[in-house]
Amino acid sequence: MDVTASPLSPRRATRQIHVGPVAVGGDAPISVQSMTTTKTADVEGTLGQIYALAAAGADIVRCTCNERAAAEGLAQIVPRSPVPIVADIHFHVEMALAALEAGVQGLRLNPGNLRKPEEIKLVASEAKDRGVPIRIGVNAGSLHPEIYERFGGATPEALVESARLELAYFDEVDFHDVKISVKASSVATMIAAYRLASETFDHPLHLGVTEAGPLPGGLIKGTAGIATLLAEGIGDTLRYSLTADPVEEARAGRQLLEALGLRERRGLDLIACPSCGRAEVDVIGVATAAQEALAGLGLPIQVAVMGCVVNGPGEARHADLGIAAGKKRGHLFIRGQIVRVVPEDEMVAALVEEATRIAEEGVEARLAARDVSAESAAAADRAALLEDRGLDANHVTEKVNEIRRRTRE
Ligand code: SF4
């Protein structure tokens, strides 16, 4: 027997959609998702969690959009998030429209509680116009009552029927950018539902055991359901639903995919901000140069490349090391604390040098060796940048005004 051959069934063919820059379905790598637990209106807290999730392995992050303040928060979060943001919508069609206005890269609709066909079609039309995909997120615990009645409970067939009905509404408005989930807290129900969904639809499937609970039981239930399906070639993206710090969800998803040989193991973990109206440097160029310079060194650390010193060190405060740009200078930070300021054209070299020293000496020793004047230099650059570009470099006010106009509150 060839023990190096993959024991997994070939992946089932699905169509491909894009959540922002992340491809889902087809031959795209299976992606990891998680969901923030902060109030979405708490922009800095939510962004901090999103960065932590991205560093732990999340490719896509979902945030609740349950009230106008959350939609307004999303307008600020989306341009600064390192990964695409999906808005989670329950009950309120106007929150779906507001989230689209805020610029989210995906929506999740629950067909169990957003039931009016005209409203569903309105959201699908608006999502289509903006090129934003929607997940039909069926959940056994909140199944449409009529379907529950008809099938005598939240059976696998009932879950798939709920998704099929929603898809029919989307078809009416010629919207096809869809992925589907049919989650249940029962592992057996969930496995049967996804097998049936895989036979019924060619849309990408988002796997998950819902309300799996705290560690370690939640991890075991999630793995039992998700890994079984992945081994059968079913699933294009996944989320562990744990009653725990969501970082555990992202980590578990990533580790499961690595264990199954479905994603490559990570040594160096380089994350970069998406760049936004505040960027002071070509983030893509610096990140690419840093990736090339650091990749061969095999350092097991997280490194962040951030476009501005106004928000960068705070957003990426969990990273071992990072660099943020400002006023033609690079601000080197370790775990969010500025340790050194270097000329802009020395950013990558400084990053490589510091990464090597952290790997040799450790984070604490490098923090102790910091240049004590660096923090005040960074504070001066931050103040100057705020003065130059104002508080609203991402034109959030415009989006918020539109969200207010379109929502009833
Ligand atoms: S440029 Fe600054 S504010 Fe914009 S995403 Fe990058 S670090 Fe965040």
Q: What is the pLDDT of residue 4?
A: 55
Chain-wide mean pLDDT for the chain? Answer: 94
Confidence class for position 1, pLDDT limits 50, 70, 90: very low
The CA distances from residue 310 to 120, 273, 365, in Å, are 40, 13, 26
Q: How far is the CA of 312 from the centre of ligand 1 (A)?
A: 6
CA of 274 to the centre of ligand 1 (A): 7
Letter string b/e over residues 123-134, b meaning 16 or more CB atoms within 10 A of that residue's CB:
bbebbbeeebbb
Q: How confident is the model at residue 7 (pLDDT cuts 50, 70, 90)?
A: confident
Closest-CA residue, ligand 1 atom 5, reads 80
CA of 176 to the centre of ligand 1 (A): 32
Strand ordering across the sheet containing 302-306: 269-272, 302-306, 321-326, 329-334, 337-343
Whole-angstrom distance, CA of residue 357 vs CA of residue 360: 5
148-167 pLDDT, tens digit each: 999 999 999 999 999 999 99
The percentage of the chain sitting over the pLDDT mark of 90, rounded to a whole number, equals: 87
Same fold, 17-259 and 269-389: no
Distance CA 194, CA 74 (A): 31
Mean pLDDT of 174-182: 98
Average pLDDT over residues 373-381: 94
Q: Which of 222, 148, 137 is nearest to 187 (CA)?
A: 222
Fold of 269-389: Sulfite Reductase Hemoprotein; domain 1 (3.30.413)
For residues 108 and 85, is the Cβ–Cβ distance under 8 A? no
The pLDDT value given to residue 265: 77
Average pLDDT over residues 191-196: 98
Lowest mean pLDDT among 88-97, 173-182, 390-399: 390-399
* Rounded distance from Cα 331 to ligand 1 centre (Å): 13
Query: Would the pLDDT of 6 be above 80?
Result: no
Residue having the nearest C-alpha atom to atom 8 of ligand 1: 80
How many Å lie between the centroid of ligand 1 and the Cα of residue 283? 9
Residue 144 to residues 116, 267, 296, Cα–Cα distance (Å): 11, 45, 53
Ligand 1 atom showing the smallest separation from residue 82 Cα: 5
Q: Which of 178-192, 296-310, 315-329 has the highest mean pLDDT?
A: 178-192
Residue nearest to atom 3 of ligand 1 (CA): 311
Which atom of ligand 1 sits closest to the CA of residue 274? 5
Does pLDDT of 389 surpass 90?
no
Give distance in angstroms: CA of 117 to centre of ligand 1.
Answer: 39
Provide the CB-side half-sphere exposure for 37 (13 A, CA): 11
Please state the atom number of ligand 1 nearest to the C-alpha of residue 277.
Answer: 4
Q: Provide the CB-side half-sphere exposure for 26 (13 A, CA).
A: 10
Q: Which of 80, 144, 106 is nearest to 316 (CA)?
A: 80
Interval between CA 103 and ligand 1 midpoint (Å): 16
> What's the CA gap between 164 and 199, in Å, rounded?
12
pLDDT at 269: 86
Cis peptide before 313 (omega within 30 of 0): no
Q: Tell me the average pLDDT across 173-186.
A: 97
Whole-Å CA distances, 382 to 313, 379, 385: 11, 5, 5
Mutate which of 273, 280, 281 for ligand 1 pocket (most atoms within 8 A of beta carbon): 273
Kindly report the pTM of this predicted structure.
0.88
Q: Please say if the pLDDT value at position 184 is more than 60.
A: yes
Please state which CATH class domain 17-259 belongs to: alpha beta
Q: 8-60 pLDDT, tens per residue?
A: 999 999 999 999 999 999 999 999 999 999 999 999 999 999 999 998 999 99
**Residue of 306, 331, 333 with the most ligand 1 atoms within 8 Å of its CB, for mutation:** 306
217 pLDDT more than 80: yes
Tens digit of each residue's pLDDT (9 = 90 or more) over 262-288: 998 777 888 999 999 999 899 999 999
Residue 330's pLDDT is 95
Spatial neighbors of 111 by CB under 8 A, at least 6 apart, are: 120, 136, 137, 138, 144, 162, 163, 165, 166
- State the pLDDT at residue 300: 82
Q: How far apart are the CA of 74 and the centre of ligand 1, in A?
A: 15
Domain ranges of the chain: 17-259, 269-389
Whether the per-residue pLDDT at 144 is higher than 80: the answer is yes
Which pLDDT value is given to residue 5? 64
User: Whose C-alpha lies nearest to ligand 1, atom 7?
Assistant: 312
The two beta strands, 60-64 and 31-35, are parallel
Closest residue to atom 2 of ligand 1, CA basis: 308
Specify whether the CB–CB gap between 25 and 32 falls below 8 A.
no
* 81 pLDDT higher than 80: yes
> Which residues have C-beta atoms less than 6 Å from ligand 1?
80, 273-276, 278-279, 306-308, 310-312, 315
